Structure 1
Amino acid sequence: MSTRFSECPCCHSKSLQLSNNKNYTPPKSSMDFFYGGYSKIENVVSCLQCGFKFINNLADNYESFYQNFGNEDQGYSDGDVKRAEFYQDFKCRIKTQVGISLDSFESVLDIGAGDGEFLFSLNDEIVKYAIEPSPLLRNNLRKNNVSSYKDISEVPKEKKFQLITMNDLLEHVEDPNEFISKVMDYLEPDGIIIISVPDYSRLPARILGNNYYLTTPMHFSYFTWRSMKALLKNNDCVGEALIIKAPMMKAKLSDALKWLKIKPTKSISNILDLVPIGYRSNFIAVVRKVK
């Protein structure tokens, strides 16, 4: 069995199981890539020890799909997701359950910043930096006084941050273990890293397996609480990760339909959008640099 990783990048177990998708068809558009589901994934590898999963054969030219993110066909405002409200709840949950105020830091680097909604939820006095692959979104961030880079390799090596955040980012990188090691180099001693990813410990994810709605080509990795703790433990310069549930995300019903590959007419969408929904899909890992 040939797999992209010879051992689990989280717990280093060699007990890996490969499953091939007999109904696979490659993604041909951004919508296929972001919301195509398991039908657009060729194969998935599961770690039998920690529950981590990863796509074995990544979509061809996937970088182009990310480059186009934020255009008229695919944007962060789809379905009127209440992201600003979510991030206020996000901050409150970390303060009450972890004892850390995200408004108390002097500098922050948000990796995979998107439209900057998280950064804009922070205190105006915080110096803000972002990494965002989409040129459109990156330019918008710069217009709002956020120093922005396309890739972490563009950030000056001497630059250090008190807080580094990754909201819905780590599941999109090819090698999460290698990426975490790179990110640690930019964190000040005693600095904090906060990671939010889709939660594959949830009962629906365990029951549905590869048919769970968040199993889709844009997500290269699928984390459980156990696998995330193992991943962060690999880096000996950090303490033990504390993991909590993310708050509810509020949206309109039309936002959920894209995951089910349902595209109603505009008139029906207008009716459906009168129905608010809430869903919880992520967990949050908080870890401090101790060396």
Structure 2
Amino acid sequence: MATELPKIGQQISVGKFHVSKLNVRRDQAFGQSEANKALIEQLRRGKIIGPFKAKPEGDRYGVYVGGRRFLAKKTVGANFFVVGKDCIIENVSDDEAREASLIENLQILRQEMDPVTRARRVADIIDYSVAGLRAAARKLGISPSTLSEWTKILELTPKMQEIIAKGLLNYTDALALARLKLGELTQDELAEILETQGADAFQRKLEKFTKGRGRRGAPRGKYIVLRAAFDKISKSDMDIYEKLNELAEAKNMKTGEYCKWVLTEHINAMY
């Protein structure tokens, strides 16, 4: 049975609200970043900002969308929130709340959230989606291959993930490391070296661990290989990359095969 919701216009004490565990940014500190400070300053100057969304959680309300707006209003000294003006309270399932939070923060996921936190939040959505990865990809508007890459770093040990979350190893290098499938002890040793001795010592040790593994790829001299790089920080690049993946999947082809097919069709049409 659904919980009876407060009426529009009703005033609810600030103490009845908290950031929900379903909010994808729940673990991020508030108030230190320039964006947070700017939001607080805007409120102090009287600017009206949109309402946050909350759902009943026990005898309180969990904020699952707009956590920053909630915390900013709380910081400037709000004593209560007006339903319909400051907040929207809805009876939604945990899955719906989790998805809504993730969708609102897609830009944050791409550019600001550390790779480990992002991977964990995306993994939550995948785990709770009945149809798994592809269903989550459709809901988020992101290709399955991109979501798969984002979550792959969760295959690394907790100690290595901690190093990545601290920003000592960037996402691209972390993904490459995950693909090497090194043992747990090796990963932990590398994490310790990176944290205590720095990037150069880490790279030297990594080269020793991977020596003799050989490089994967096309045999030298047999193929002509064309490469295209997509900048993961660029929204336009990632939009094109994701569309390529989706179109390739629609034709049951790998992305590289699809690109070759498109080029072939285009060139044949010109001559």
TM-score category of the 2 structures, normalised to the smaller one: under 0.3
Q: Which has the higher contact order (CA 8 A, sep 6+)?
A: 1
Which protein has the bigger strand share? 1
| TM-score normalised according to structure 2 size | 0.24
| TM-score normalised according to structure 1 size | 0.23
